Structures are given as C-alpha cells and as structure tokens.
Amino acid sequence: MPAISLVVCLRKERDFLARLLRHAEGCYDDLVVVHDGPEFEVGVPPPVAAPPAEMAMDYAEIPAGSPIPPFYRAPTLPPKPGSTHELVLQHGGRYFEGPRCYQQEPHWPFAWSQAEHDWILRLDADEYPSTGLKEWLCKFRATEELLENVSGYLGIWPLWNGSRKVGTNLPPFRVFLFNKRRVRFFGMVEQGPTPDTMFEPVRLEICHKPTRKSYGIENLMFRGQAYRWRHVIAASLLEPPTRLPCWRWNDPAWPDYWECIRQTPFLTAISRGFRSLPSQLRFCWKFRCWVPMDALLGTALHQVLMPITYMRVRSKDLLKS
C-alpha cells in the first residue's frame, strides 16, 4: 500500500496551513514544510533575484540520511508560540527554513528529498482537498497495486473570486499527487513536474481559497508577488536551468516554452499576446467549460508581461557586465 508525504512550501501562511492540515487529516503519512526564508525575518530582505547559486544541485542525488545542505536549517530551539514551526511540530511534521527565494518552487527539490515516501501530495498552503478528493486519497493509500506507467494525478483547480469559486466544467490539469521517482523538475515558478510516463486525470476538486481573487488583470498588475514572480523568472532565464535547484533534471537546454522568451522576447510577447485569448476560447469550447473573461484576459496579459520583464532584466544584466 502506498504511503504519502504531504509537502508544503510557503511564506507566512500559518493560518492557511492550519486549514490545509485540518482538511487533509488522514490523507498522508508524513509531513514536510519548508518556509521561504526565516519565518521571523530580521533586517532588510534580500533583493528579488534568481535563487542563490549555492542552491543549484540535483537534490534527487542526495543519499538518504545525509546532512541537510548548509543553506537550509531545521530549527532546534523550541518554536515560538503561534508560529508555523509550532504548528508543524504539533502535527508531527518536520519544519525547515531555506534561503529567501520569493517563490516556493526552488524549495520543492529539497523538500522532496526530505520526504520519507515516494508519493508526494503537493498542495499550496491556501489549498486543501475537497471532500471527494480526500476520500480518493484515503482509497489510494489503501490500494494494493498501482499502475507503474502512471507518474502522478491531475485534479480540477477551480478559480476563486475572493468569496466563491467560479467557472464550470473545468478539466483536470493541476498536478496534486506524483511519484518523485517518476518526475523531473527545475525550480522555477510556472514550471511544473515533468512526468516520465503520464499524469492520470481525476475529476475531483482541489479547493483553492486565498483571501483575494486567484485570477484577473488586477491580480497580475497590482499584486506585489506577481511582480516578484516575473522578475525571478526573468533573472533565472539568464542562466541554464541546471543553475537552479533541480530534481532528476540534467539538461542545460531550456524547454521550448522558455527558450522562445530567451531568444525572441519581443516577438514572443506579441505572438503570445495575440494568440492567447483565441487559444483559451477554443479550449473552453472544446471542454464546454465557462471561465470569466477577466481570467482569460489576465492570462493573455501574463504571456505579454513575462517576455517584457525578461527584456528589462537582460538589459540591466548586460549593462552590469
């Protein structure tokens, strides 16, 4: 029967994590939580940039039982009352703090290396399994035999307008469970695990309920984290993906989606900006799903802003050199 490690990488989302752990009770056998930077940060935060160079390694190659890398720490002092550290220990989990990266993806490879089990339940702190998905996970853990040609499973990820979910008949596309021995990955936001074989769709919902809208133009233009994500993506693209924290990834070439931004950022911004909305509308027609127009326009804008941000960051880098 497969055992599951719940892995969560976050920053200052203790209350969300408490909700997730409450709803996910009975769905996992092991808990690993990695905090992006110190939970109680002292001094001026580091500048927004690509993950520190010392983090660049293939964490899948770290032998079991090895000391953790020096840039990660497992606090040994008693946790502060009301802290994320305290919450994790109360649920029998292990808590780590890593370098400040302004995104969670660079911490995934390290977190997976610390997971006791091969099957990883990957949820954001502001997500939790729906009732149906929780039942599915419990049945999965009781399964005697699993298909070896399945690298993981995809769930439905509804949009959230700040008070309720929106959109109907969305297809499964969000990876929520995978076998870490059957995927490859490099640690950059917008990049998901690449399966060795296939991801199996499961028509069950992952509840995503942040305090804000999870989509839209305002979410992309006026949210500080969205700016930081684009800037980190752009700074990361200046080097090969192997200069990022990796998991079973040893190819220095960028996948085509990212290489287009590197080679022709201006043309990519124009092309993707014009093609995004028609492509999304065809997608909605194909699956007979409804998505708010604000979400479609926000996605199109995001496709434009990423290459533009890369051009700006690349220009500054050339001036420095």
Tell me, yes or no, whether 45 and 164 share the same domain.
Answer: yes
Tell me, yes or no, whether 49 and 137 share the same domain.
Answer: yes
Question: Could you tell me the pLDDT band of residue 187, with boundaries at 50, 70 and 90?
Answer: very high
pLDDT tens per residue, range 212-229? 999 988 888 888 888 999
Question: Which pLDDT score, from 0 to 100, does residue 152 have?
Answer: 97
Domain limits for position 182:
4-208
Tell me, yes or no, whether 198 and 251 share the same domain.
Answer: no
Question: Which pLDDT score, from 0 to 100, does residue 38 have?
Answer: 94
d(CA 81, CA 78): 9
Tell me, yes or no, whether 163 and 132 share the same domain.
Answer: yes
Which of 156, 189, 208 is where one domain is finished?
208
pLDDT tens per residue, range 66-119? 999 999 999 988 999 999 999 999 999 999 999 999 999 999 999 999 999 999
pLDDT tens per residue, range 36-57? 999 998 888 889 999 999 999 9
Question: Which pLDDT score, from 0 to 100, does residue 147 have?
Answer: 75
Tell me, yes or no, whether 37 and 171 share the same domain.
Answer: yes
Question: Which pLDDT score, from 0 to 100, does residue 321 have?
Answer: 60
Residues 137 and 177 sit within 8 Å (Cβ to Cβ): yes
Q: What is the domain count for the chain?
A: 2
Tell me, yes or no, whether 132 and 261 share the same domain.
Answer: no
Tell me, yes or no, whether 62 and 86 share the same domain.
Answer: yes
Tell me, yes or no, whether 174 and 221 share the same domain.
Answer: no
Q: What value does the mean pLDDT of the chain take?
A: 94
d(CA 9, CA 175): 15
Which of 208, 225, 254 is where one domain is finished?
208
Tell me, yes or no, whether 240 and 197 share the same domain.
Answer: no
Question: Could you tell me the pLDDT band of residue 172, with boundaries at 50, 70 and 90?
Answer: very high
Tell me, yes or no, whether 148 and 175 share the same domain.
Answer: yes
- Model confidence, pTM: 0.95
Evaluate if residue 317 carries a pLDDT over 80: no
Exposed / middle / buried, residue 300 (Cβ in 10 Å: 0-12, 13-18, 19+)? buried
Cβ neighbours of residue 275 under 8 Å, at least 6 residues apart? Answer: none
Tell me, yes or no, whether 201 and 242 share the same domain.
Answer: no
Phi/psi at 77 (nearest 5 deg)?
-75, 155
Q: What is the CATH number of the domain that holds 122?
A: 3.90.550
Kindly report the three-state secondary structure assignment for every residue of 188-214: CCCCCCEECCCEEEEEEEEEECCCCCC
Establish how many alpha carbons lie within 13 A of residue 166's alpha carbon, considering only the half-sphere containing its beta carbon: 14
Scan for tokens 């060795």, then name that residue: 196
Scan for tokens 């909605």, then name that residue: 284
